[in-house]
Amino acid sequence: MAWLNAFLSSTIGQKVVVALTGLFLCTFLVVHMVGNLQLIWGTADKFNLYTYAMTHNKVIKVVSYLTYASIVLHAVMAIWVNRRNAGARPVGYAKKGTNSTWSSRNMVFLGVVILVYIVVHLYNFWFQLKFGEVGTVVIEGKHVKDLYPVVINAFQIPWLVALYVVSMAALSFHLIHGFQSGFQTVGVSHHKYTPFIKQLGIWVFGVLIPLGFAAVPIAVMILKDPIPIP
Amino acid sequence: MALNTSLDAHIPEGPLQQKWTQYRSTLPLVSPNNKRRIDVIVVGTGLAGASAAASLSELGYNVKAFCYQDSPRRAHSIAAQGGINAAKNYQNDGDSTYRLFYDTIKGGDYRSREANVYRLAEVSAAIIDQCVAQGVPFAREYGGLLANRSFGGVQVKRTFYARGQTGQQLLLGAYQALSKEIAGGGVKMYNRHEMLDVVLIDGVARGIIARDLVTGEIQRHGAHAVVLATGGYGNVFYLSTNAMGCNVTAAWKAFKRGAYFGNPCFTQIHPTCMPVKGEHQSKLTLMSESLRNDGRVWVPKTVEDAKAIVAGSIKAEELPEERRDYYLERMYPAFGNLVPRDVASRAAKLVCDEGRGVNESSQAVFLDFATAIQRDGEDAIRARYGNLFDMYERINATNPYKSPMKIYPAVHYTMGGLWVDYNLMTTVPGLFAIGEANFSDHGANRLGASALMQGLADGYFVLPYTIGTFLSGEIRTPRIDTNHAAFGEVEAQVKGRIDKFFSVGGNQSVESLHRKLGKIMWEYCGMARNAEGLQKAIGLIADLKEEFWNDVYVPGKAGDFNPELEKAGRVADFIELGDLMVRDALNRNESCGGHFREEYQQDGEALRDDNGYSYVAAWAFAGESQAPELNKENLVFEYEKPKTRSYA
Amino acid sequence: MDNPYRMKLNLKVWRQHGPQDKGGFQTYALDDVSPDSSFLEMLDLLNEQLVSKREEPVAFDHDCREGICGMCSLYINGHPHGPEQTTTCQLHMRSFSDGETITIEPWRAKAFPIIKDLTVDRSAFERIIQAGGYISVNTGQAVDGNAIPVPKDDAEDAFNAATCIGCGACVAACKNASAMLFVGAKVSHLGLLPQGRPEAAKRAQAMVRQMDAEGFGSCTNTGACSAECPKEIPQSVIGMLNREYLLSTTLSEEG
């Protein structure tokens, strides 16, 4: 296994870990997005069933552990790479010009914003669902935790909505660079396909998905009234 | 005081076509286990040096290689643009080894050695094979096979190229081969080291004294043989297309230790360079000869139109066809714009001297692509020469796709160099010279795309064999001891000279003295020379030498990274070389190739004197402030009898 | 031809006597600069002035002065080789304005230690090439040049990668001081040609190992290197390097 060790300690190997975990997390975002839209277009029941499925489905469970692992690996490896890269230029320039996009230079910063957001987000909902005092409803014969009002009520708080929107902006910039960068790092670079990947990264992952996520709290705040919890 | 006996070039017997193959099979060999015990120093890592160092190491010799740059890859071969010739006949246009030989002999105005030139043509094909195998990305046709283009002085397409960066790609190939050998331990590489003298023990070259340019340390390096691949000396003119660091020091020290200098006055003035402008200009930039495949050279027919163009009242591209003089096409209809370099340069000078030049100093002609762009489209021209056009635009801030380029001849290459025999050994046993550093293959004028060919031929396919003739006798010589008194003596001289530079403490920078030398050389020993001017130059150079040693100022310290000190050493040697060049030019009472003596011409064409000057002038050092001694190697033409060169 | 117009400039130049010296900026005023002169000719002028004042001239690397040897460096006003996408020797003073202050720094990277003033030691690049940046073919072993046809597009792509001059601007430009463009260029040049395939896996492994050992950072795909590369080496060479490295790690027996 010396080869694996060598690979994981190489600059390219470490970046590949960041890229693969990042790209995996992109697929997770798509799935998560579909669920979230239930809040706007679906009913309370549908949403609660969705959260039930997210916590009980075996496949989803496995995937969710993979997701947590990916987040941790992605962050730890990225920070490690960043430390190593900082050491490659011990003395900086007095006058620095720019020659690249802002997001590409600030991936770690954007990542940290997203990480803080993930912690807040998990505390708000996932933690409540697992350990908080959330009521139970019966839907289609199943005892399901009634997360729906928790969400609706949370998104009545303006600063929380603002945090979500700002975080999604960070996600947008993170993905505009990160999606295509991930493909480049794993060596998918081709005269024909790379331009397509770049557009996909910008418009779907950089714009559509973060907009979708940001739309939910905004829409809830504007459209839905708070639900009194019994 | 010429000696009457001809120098022996050790040319093997037999018919021209078989000399090399027969000789190669009978050369004495050094067995593999003996090679391991033999050290060879290679100075310079351009095409010749890098290829030789790599090939010698592959054979098993211990090689020490030196270059003054921070990497072997930066040697000035890198800047060669147009291409490399090889008699492959891939184009089925009637090329052959013999035809390449013939073109080169004729192009050199019958002042080169038949046997060497034939050998060069013979090994040319193998060079292409070797380079392709190394990964040199030559231009290719859609079928995946190698492409060729045409170059000056020939009527076939035999030039292989990699866009306008052929020298770069070939050098990277040789550099990579060298890197492979460095990694394998066969070559020990010394970057940022400059050879300052050669050490002889009992008359045999046994090492060098080098300066570590970073620390200033003076080092002794011993070896069984020393190979100089140190390039040409065009920088004697101050302004040339050479790199800033190109210098004659290694060759000059060899000369002063007993190696003869062959045909020092044979200088190539390249016809297509960007014209001089501004007094702070440090170098001239070449525009590849390949441009003459599609570009048409012209000046206005009248002085009035030329003046109007300079003044800006007429735009060059708007001057009607009938008022233009496409003088190369007019004077040389058979070869047109693709006449050899010396011919094209002289013609440019001729029309400019008439006042028809197209810049303020009347030292520029047009190279016009309008016809080619109209015929093939701008995209096709961009694909062929894009990088050259970009470079032109960057330097001159005018768009050559829209208005014609301005060009003028500039010093580019030196055919002269250390005299070597057929084995590429100088008159000092154990001291070899390859590539542009020797005088051997190009006679009085080099054809385009032949420098790369010669450098690689010498390094890959000639020297690795012929050095065996000397080294086979060295298998009992133990490793050279650098504590030998001879090393101490030369080292002391080198150090003494460095101290002397600092002790002058005058008022002039090395650069300004170099500029003065350049002016003298260009004025009196440039594109056209005459006895009166050359006589005058001898005096001017002597004065300049005195001025240098009385008024130079070298800042900094010896034991330090000190580029000014490096330059001082080089310029001091250039001044001495300048004297030798002028004397050689004065001695040669004829015009041939790049050497044009105004007294010897017929209707503006060079007038050669085959009875008087069909020889290589090999000069020997006769002591400081002594006139050098002339030796001759008579040139015998068995296969191609000299005739008047005609490209009309 | 010579433009009679002359510029005045303020030069803020990094001076450092040797590798151990701390170093710092020195400011020089320079006038009588022709806009037609190259950046290095402008520095020549400065040095002539310094020499005439018995001061030590600024040490900087340069040689061919036609944009191909890769010897010149200089980080000018925040950009390697200055504001134009070319080499410093091909940069002309007309790219600056009269009275401008120009900040001139050496390449900054752990793997490129400073020798003196603006001169840095780029021998790390040498060792990377020595690790595997070649095709192992000895002189005389080659088959006929036309024995193996190479698709024109592959030859063109290989050429575009091979056009790298090894100047180190990519490292200087990269916020991580990464050498991936340099290494990618060589791995792509040789890997795109059939002659280079037999050693492709070994080459990628060895060159990356050496690149890491030299202390260069990793590539975070900012694209700054290509944006500043005087030879416009594209990002695709880094993609190819990543691919070759990943495949050689996972699929080949190498590594």
Give the tens place of pLDDT for each residue, C139-179: 999 999 999 999 999 999 999 999 999 999 999 999 999 99
Of A85, A92, A188, the CB nearest to C108: A92
CA distance C22 to C44: 25
Of A16, A104, A189, the CB nearest to C236: A189
C15 touches chain A (CB under 8 A): no
Give the pLDDT confidence score for residue C1 in this predicted structure. Answer: 44
Ordered by where they begin, the domains of chain C are 7-115 (3.10.20.30), 122-250 (1.10.1060.10)
Element (H or E) spanning B272, and its range?
strand B267-273
CA distance B157 to B144: 18
Chains C and A touch (3+ CB pairs under 8 A): yes
Give the pLDDT confidence score for residue B470 in this predicted structure. Answer: 98
CA distance B2 to C178: 62
Tokens of B222: 């011993």
Beta strand pairing call for A142-145 and B39-43: unpaired
Catalytic choice (B73, B220, B341, B588): B341
Give the pLDDT confidence score for residue B1 in this predicted structure. Answer: 44
Give the pLDDT confidence score for residue B182 in this predicted structure. Answer: 98
Q: A56 or C13: whose pLDDT is higher?
A: C13
Q: B284 or A38: whose pLDDT is higher?
A: B284
Angle A11-41/C236-250 helices, nearest 10 degrees? Answer: 100
* Cross-chain residue pair A10–C110, CB shorter than 8 Å: no
* Cross-chain residue pair A95–C78, CB shorter than 8 Å: yes
How many angstroms separate the CA of residue C124 from the nearest CA in chain B? 10
CB B276 within 8 A of CB B240: no
Residue A125 predicted with pLDDT over 90: no
Please, which residues bridge with residue B207 across strands?
B199, B222
User: Taking CB atoms and an 8 Å cutoff, what residues of chain A touch C236?
Assistant: 189, 191, 194
Give the tens place of pLDDT for each residue, B349-367: 999 999 999 998 899 999 9
How many angstroms separate the CA of residue B464 from the nearest CA in chain C? 10
Residue A37 predicted with pLDDT over 90: no
Residue B76 is given by DSSP the state G
Q: B5 or A137: whose pLDDT is higher?
A: A137
Neighbouring chains of C at 3+ CB pairs under 8 Å are A, B
Alpha carbon distances (Å) from C46 to C11, C18, C39, C67, C85: 9, 20, 11, 21, 24
Give the tens place of pLDDT for each residue, C228-244: 999 999 999 999 999 99
* Cross-chain residue pair C79–A99, CB shorter than 8 Å: yes
Residues in chain B: 648
User: Taking CB atoms and an 8 Å cutoff, what residues of chain C touch A107?
Assistant: 220
How many angstroms separate the CA of residue C229 from the nearest CA in chain B? 15
Give the tens place of pLDDT for each residue, B632-645: 999 999 999 999 88
For chain C, state the CA radius of gyration: 21
Alpha carbon distances (Å) from B394 to A161, B141, B368, B461, C91: 54, 30, 18, 39, 8
Give the pLDDT confidence score for residue B538 in this predicted structure. Answer: 98
Residue located via tokens 């009248």: B302
Closest CA to B64 of B219, B288, B265, B172: B219
Please, which residues bridge with residue B262 across strands?
B417, B618
The dihedrals phi and psi of C128, each to the nearest 5 degrees, come to -70, -45
Residue C66 predicted with pLDDT over 50: yes
C252 touches chain A (CB under 8 A): no
**What sign results for the dihedral spanned by CA atoms B52, B57, B61, B67?**
positive
Beta strand pairing call for C7-15 and C24-33: antiparallel
Closest CA to B323 of B307, B305, B335: B305
Confidence of residue B4 (pLDDT cuts 50, 70, 90): low
Closest-CA residue of C relative to A192 is: C236
Give the tens place of pLDDT for each residue, B62-85: 999 999 999 999 999 999 988 999
- The span from the first CA to the last CA of chain C, in angstroms, equals 59
Give the tens place of pLDDT for each residue, B449-478: 999 999 999 999 999 999 999 999 999 999
How many angstroms separate the CA of residue C85 from the nearest CA in chain A? 11
Ordered by where they begin, the domains of chain A are 10-87+102-223 (1.20.1300.10)
* Cross-chain residue pair C44–B162, CB shorter than 8 Å: no
Residue C198 predicted with pLDDT over 50: yes
Give the pLDDT confidence score for residue B646 in this predicted structure. Answer: 81
Give the tens place of pLDDT for each residue, A182-191: 999 999 999 8
Give the tens place of pLDDT for each residue, B372-396: 999 999 999 998 888 889 889 988 8
In the Cβ-directed half-sphere of B265, how many Cα atoms lie within 13 Å? 30
Confidence of residue C252 (pLDDT cuts 50, 70, 90): confident
**Is residue B646 packed enough to be buried (19+ CB in 10 Å), middle (13-18) or exposed (0-12)?**
exposed
CA distance C84 to C75: 12
Q: How many CB pairs under 8 A join B and C?
A: 227
Confidence of residue A230 (pLDDT cuts 50, 70, 90): low
Residue B341 bears catalytic tag: yes
The dihedrals phi and psi of C47, each to the nearest 5 degrees, come to -65, -40
**Is residue B575 packed enough to be buried (19+ CB in 10 Å), middle (13-18) or exposed (0-12)?**
buried
* Cross-chain residue pair C41–B282, CB shorter than 8 Å: yes
Percentage of residues in chain B having pLDDT higher than 70: 99
A218-223 own/partner pairs: CB under 8 Å, 24+ apart: A218/A161, A218/A165, A219/A39, A219/A40, A220/A39, A220/A40, A220/A151, A220/A152, A220/A155, A220/A156, A221/A155, A221/A156, A221/A158, A221/A161, A223/A40
Position B240: which residue type?
Answer: S
Beta strand pairing call for B225-228 and B39-43: parallel
Confidence of residue C254 (pLDDT cuts 50, 70, 90): low
CA distance B468 to B461: 12
CA distance B98 to B89: 11
Give the tens place of pLDDT for each residue, B512-552: 999 999 999 999 999 999 999 999 999 999 999 999 999 99
CB under 8 Å to A86, separation ≥6 — which residues? none
For chain B, state the CA radius of gyration: 24
Closest CA to B181 of B68, B76, B40: B40
Give the pLDDT confidence score for residue A49 in this predicted structure. Answer: 86
Ordered by where they begin, the domains of chain B are 270-411 (3.90.700.10), 485-611 (1.20.58.100)
Residue B2 predicted with pLDDT over 50: no
**Is residue A191 packed enough to be buried (19+ CB in 10 Å), middle (13-18) or exposed (0-12)?**
exposed
CA distance A86 to A78: 12
Q: Which parts of chain C fold into alpha helices (H)?
A: 39-52, 123-132, 152-162, 169-173, 180-191, 200-213, 224-228, 236-250
Interface test with B, best of C36, C64, C122 (most B CBs within 10 A): C64
User: Taking CB atoms and an 8 Å cutoff, what residues of chain C touch B183?
Assistant: 130-131
